[in-house]
A and B are shown apart, each in its own frame.
Chain A
Amino acid sequence: MTINARQDEIVEEFELFDDWMDKYEYIIQLGKELPLIDAKYKTDENLIKGCQSKVWLHTEMRDGLLHFSADSDALITKGLVSMVIQVLSGQKPKDIADAEIYFIDKIGLQSHLSPTRSNGLLSMLKQMKLYAVAYQAKSLQQ
């Protein structure tokens, strides 16, 4: 599934909810279901800067696709991380680097998140794209 198809899928899921408490419940549920990052990757190097709660992000290249795994000490953050991973993990580095992330705005998340959370989410996206660009550059060199 393409990045945009995954984004559209999330937007559709959120359309089912009437109020923001339900949306939060859903995000929290996603957080609970997020497969945990391997403990050995929860290092200071993998911590995302800009998140008030802690977020660890690990990247792995397999068969030309970039895979992300992550964890957070806060459940709502974990839910947000889960959505971003759903959208970007398992994609080609070039597609990740070029992707326009619109689902956050479309589901109205941006306006409902506190600025600290919002900045954290943007930091995480930025970091994922940086990894993608780095892997892309590396593959071009090889």
Chain B
Amino acid sequence: MPGNSTISTARKLDIAQLRSDFPILQTQVYGKPLVYLDNAATTQKPSAVIQAMNDYYTQYNSNIHRGVHYLSQKATAEYELVRKKVQGFINAEHLHEVIFTKGTTESINLVASCFGRKFLRPGNSIIVSAMEHHSNIVPWQMACEEHGAELRVAPMNEKGELLLEEFERMLDETVKLVSVTYVSNTLGTVNPVKEMIELAHGQGIPVLVDAAQAIQHMPVDVQELDADFLAFSGHKMYGPTGIGVLYGKEKWLQQIPPYQGGGDMIKTVTFEKTTYNDLPLKFEAGTPAIAEGIGLGAAIDYLQHLGMANIAETEAQLLAYTTEALQEVKGLRFIGEAESKAASISFLVGNTHPFDVGEILDKHGIAVRTGHHCTEPIMHYYGIPGTVRASLAFYNTTEEIDKLVAAIQKAAMLLS
């Protein structure tokens, strides 16, 4: 525990009570209570989410949108209700601006593919930032390669902060779209996306926001941000895997062609010609992840019950506590020290390899992530093989952080 901590440990949410909502948090690993600090990879699921999916399979499992029978209508109504919940959660202007996908990666691939086909030409460029996850690099590389465009990278400084002035200078007439992460999964940096969008819009350039690491930590309002596209995954916000969202402004979704063909995305099909369905179904080919969608709806209910502002405040306190506690570990070096951070902390201890530290923490029942976190360019930037990353959620406790620190001390001793 930090020696002379000035950080309040009083938190707005009743964490002890909330932890009982998450069955897995009572698990033991190697005979020790699980300390789950890999929330940036995926979050744990509350009983309400598990129950909602169970209810679907046990009470109204059916395909949606086409069936005339009771079960299909019930499943369709429940699934479409989730779209409404997502609309409210991110404050989208229109319901049909909410597209269900498999997750953030598919959402970004959808835009890269469809926007690319419609708008990218040789000599054009796309801007991403230096702290992107591979999922917000590779789809754009593919689109640029296909259409003869250039991928440009907005730089960051040593602290892991985006250089806003440099970014502004890059916004020339060749740029067709900016795609930027809201929160870096590796560095924890919260990017000034609202300002970036304002700057890009000043030049008539649309912006996609990768909110995979933001949506679970803070209120996200697409109208306030004025984002043109916004992507996130269900499993990182206490919902199931295999479901995610692409928000797109109606004007863009109308203009870009569909992503995949088949299923709900058609209006009429003849061998000569197919007419596409209206939004949002135009982008939702095939049978969707129905149970997962319903689980996502339950996750949104759960988060809204807690209040995103409360979650943000609780996690900010825990982040401050963790940062201070980790500073006590001799030789510990933070990778990513932005002024504005969300609850993800990357670090290295002396000359130890992150895999070694991660493996020893695992034997203490502590789950952290080690490696490059699918952000190899960040590792190249810092000249390191990877980091140890402790990523927090509101259900983590200060006691768990104390266990983390003690286990890191032990690992450092063993490995030195």
Tell whether A and B belong to one assembly.
yes
Structural contact, B363 and A24, CB atoms closer than 8 A = yes
Structural contact, A21 and B363, CB atoms closer than 8 A = yes
CB distance from A53 to the nearest CB of B (A): 5
Q: Which residues of B contact A52 (CB under 8 A)?
A: 355, 371
Interface string of B331-365 (1 = CB under 8 A from A): 00000000000000000000011011011101100
**Chain A interface mostly helix, strand, loop or mixed?**
helix
- Whether a CB of chain B sits under 8 angstroms from the CB of A73 is yes
Q: Which residues of A contact B358 (CB under 8 A)?
A: 114
B interface, size bucket: 10 to 19
Task: Return the chain B residue nearest A74 by Cβ.
Answer: B353
Q: Which residues of B contact A53 (CB under 8 A)?
A: 353, 355-356, 385
Choice from B30, B352, B355 contacting A20 with Cβ under 8 Å: B30
Residue of A20, A25, A74 with most chain B CB atoms under a 10 A cut-off = A74
Task: Return the chain B residue nearest A120 by Cβ.
Answer: B355
Structural contact, A76 and B355, CB atoms closer than 8 A = yes
CB distance from B406 to the nearest CB of A (A): 13
Structural contact, B363 and A77, CB atoms closer than 8 A = no
CB distance from A82 to the nearest CB of B (A): 14
Q: Which residues of A contact B360 (CB under 8 A)?
A: 24, 76
- Whether a CB of chain A sits under 8 angstroms from the CB of B41 is no
B208-222, CB < 8 A from A? none
CB distance from A133 to the nearest CB of B (A): 30
Q: How many A-B residue pairs have CB under 8 A?
A: 42
Structural contact, B353 and A24, CB atoms closer than 8 A = no
Interface string of A1-45 (1 = CB under 8 A from B): 000000000000000000011001100100000000000000000
- Whether a CB of chain A sits under 8 angstroms from the CB of B7 is no
Structural contact, A76 and B359, CB atoms closer than 8 A = yes
Q: Complex formed: what's the CA distance from A97 to B353 in Å? A: 32
- Whether a CB of chain A sits under 8 angstroms from the CB of B24 is no
Q: Complex formed: what's the CA distance from A71 to B224 in Å? A: 53
Q: Complex formed: what's the CA distance from A77 to B352 in Å? A: 12
Structural contact, A114 and B359, CB atoms closer than 8 A = yes
- Whether a CB of chain A sits under 8 angstroms from the CB of B18 is no
Residue of B352, B353, B356, B360 with most chain A CB atoms under a 10 A cut-off = B356
CB distance from B387 to the nearest CB of A (A): 13
Q: Which residues of A contact B371 (CB under 8 A)?
A: 52
Interface size on A, residues (CB 8 A): 17
Q: Complex formed: what's the CA distance from A73 to B370 in Å? A: 14
CB distance from B322 to the nearest CB of A (A): 24
Q: Complex formed: what's the CA distance from A112 to B31 in Å? A: 13
Structural contact, B355 and A117, CB atoms closer than 8 A = yes
Q: Which residues of A contact B385 (CB under 8 A)?
A: 53-54, 73
Q: Complex formed: what's the CA distance from A21 to B411 in Å? A: 10
Task: Return the chain A residue nearest B415 by Cβ.
Answer: A75
Q: Which residues of B contact A116 (CB under 8 A)?
A: 355
- Whether a CB of chain A sits under 8 angstroms from the CB of B414 is yes
Structural contact, A75 and B353, CB atoms closer than 8 A = yes
Task: Return the chain B residue nearest A23 by Cβ.
Answer: B363
Q: Which residues of A contact B415 (CB under 8 A)?
A: 28, 75
Q: Which residues of A contact B356 (CB under 8 A)?
A: 28, 53, 74-77
Q: Which residues of A contact B355 (CB under 8 A)?
A: 52-53, 74, 76-77, 116-117
Q: Which residues of A contact B363 (CB under 8 A)?
A: 20-21, 24, 112
CB distance from B102 to the nearest CB of A (A): 24
Q: Complex formed: what's the CA distance from A112 to B29 in Å? A: 12
Q: Which residues of A contact B352 (CB under 8 A)?
A: 75
Q: List 20 contacting pairs A-B, 8 Å CB cutoff, sorted by A.
A: A20-B363, A24-B359, A24-B360, A28-B414, A28-B415, A53-B355, A73-B385, A74-B355, A74-B356, A75-B352, A75-B353, A75-B356, A76-B353, A76-B355, A76-B356, A77-B353, A112-B363, A116-B355, A117-B355, A117-B359
- Chain B residues engaging chain A, CB cutoff 8 angstroms: 30, 352-353, 355-356, 358-360, 362-363, 371, 385, 414-415
Q: Which 8 A-B pairs have the closest CB atoms?
A: A74-B353, A76-B356, A74-B355, A53-B355, A74-B356, A75-B356, A75-B415, A28-B414
